[in-house]
Amino acid sequence: MIRSQSLLKKIGYVAFLWFGLSSSAWAAFEYRCTGTEPFWSLSIETRGIILSIPDSPDLKIRHVPPRGAAARPENTLQVYETKTRTGNKPVTIVVKRARNGCNDGMSDIELPYEVVYISRQSVFEGCCKPLNESR
């Protein structure tokens, strides 16, 4: 058990180096996203990603380190290519800084990021804010 934990730490360290992100940088990419038609929310946290839709069970998605766009600041664009925890179904999530803010069309609140959630069953578009922001 101890040997496997050590191996996992080494693999994690190599992954941090490979993706160019430290664990604290991963934590910086945590978001709360929402959308309408239908109403839905997406929580992107280092411990996991959860898609919530009213009258449906939450969909738990594996967290992976996001990929950024080449030669762009890391907070400009994050792409999560991952899979659901149950069923191992592919999911792609793209979070992009919105030049003029993002509005869901139902409220007057402008959020700094746009999000697109893509699976085989559905595509949702909405807005996000970093979890470390108070609004």
Amino acid at 87: G
Question: Which pLDDT score, from 0 to 100, does residue 31 have?
Answer: 96
Contacts of residue 50, defined as CB under 8 A and 6 or more positions apart, other chains included, come to: 42, 43, 58, 59, 60, 61
Strand positions, DSSP E, 4-73: 31-35, 40-45, 48-52, 59-61
Question: Which pLDDT score, from 0 to 100, does residue 28 have?
Answer: 62
Burial of 28 (0-12, 13-18, 19+ CB in 10 A): middle
Question: Which pLDDT score, from 0 to 100, does residue 96 have?
Answer: 97
Question: Which pLDDT score, from 0 to 100, does residue 56 have?
Answer: 94
Residues lower than pLDDT 70 in the chain? 1-28, 133-135
Question: Which pLDDT score, from 0 to 100, does residue 8 have?
Answer: 39
